[in-house]
Copies of this chain bind each other. A is one copy, B any other.
Amino acid sequence: MKSINLSEKFEKISDHWTPKVIAEMNDYQFKLVKVEGEFVWHAHKDTDETFIVLDGELTIEFRDRTVTLSKGEIIVVPKGVEHKPAAETECRIMIIEPKEVTNTGDSGGSLTAENDVWI
C-alpha cells in the first residue's frame, strides 16, 4: 500500500517494447512500456487489453482501421482482435491486462518480451 510514481518508474526503462510490471490488482497487472517503431500484428485470444498513452503518440493499426492515441487517451482492444501498435517517436504507455499475457500474443517472434518482470 504505497504510491507508485509513473515517471520514476519510466526512468528504469531503457529498451523498447518490453513491458515492465509496476502493480498488480487481483490477477491483473499494470505494465509500463516505452515504444518506438513498429510492433508485430498479434491478438490476445483470451482477453481484452487496455492501453493508456502517458506521453507521445501511439498508433494502433487494426485490420479495418487505424486509431491514433495522444497523451491522456485510452483504448480497449477486445479479445481476439488483431492489432499492430506503432510509434514514430518514443511514446510512453501503460498496459493493463491479466498477468499471464504475453506482449506478442499468439504471434511470437523476436519482439516477444519476458513476462512478469517488475521494476
| Chain A residues in the interface with B (C-beta under 8 A) | 1-7, 22-26, 28, 30, 47-50, 54, 62, 65, 67-69, 72-79, 81, 96-98
CA distance A6 to B48 in the complex (A): 19
Count this chain's copies in the assembly: 2
A selection of 11 A-B contacts at a CB cut-off of 8 Å is A1-B76, A1-B77, A3-B73, A4-B75, A5-B72, A6-B73, A23-B50, A25-B76, A25-B96, A25-B97, A26-B48
Report A47 CB to chain B, min CB distance, Å.
Answer: 6
Chain B residues lying within 8 Å of A47, measured Cβ to Cβ, are: 26
Which residues of B have CB within 8 Å of A6? 72-74
**In the docked arrangement, what's the CA distance between A69 and B2, Å?**
9
